[in-house]
Structure 1
Amino acid sequence: MAKAAPKKKAAPKKKAAPKKKAAPKKKAAPKKKAAPKKAAPKKAAPKKKAAPKKKAAPKKKAAPKKKAAPKKKAAPKKKAAP
């Protein structure tokens, strides 16, 4: 690529022309009160009251885990044969 011609020192940006005080926007034309959309107000179809989820079937009280069978006291390892 032809050595990029040294960019003329960025022309000092003319102090951003003071933006003419934003022309006061004619007070936003009062939007005709949102014309009540005569869209037949779809009475939000009453969502069938979320079918009461059968009270989450009480999980049979977590079957009491048979008290962890007491692990037979780890059989004393025969003293490692010398």
Structure 2
Amino acid sequence: MGLSRAARSAAAKKAARTRKRNARLKVGARKKVAQRRKRVAGRKATRRGTSRRRSTSSRGTSRKRSTTRRSPL
């Protein structure tokens, strides 16, 4: 994985926090939270001018790959 040790640790902490919160919440509330997070993330991405789907680690590779792997037809 192309993350620094600190970033990995932060991601693990965030995941643990999410797991704990999900265990506490009911399913409906959980879905609402997830929906809100998506909406907020989309807004942040819009402000940044990027898409939400692309991960930071594969930012430079996707462009390069598309030119090399072509079908011969």
TM-score range, shorter chain: under 0.3
Question: When the two structures are superposed, what TM-score results if normalisation uses the length of structure 2?
Answer: 0.17
Question: When the two structures are superposed, what TM-score results if normalisation uses the length of structure 1?
Answer: 0.16
Relative to its length, the structure with more helix (as a share) is: 2
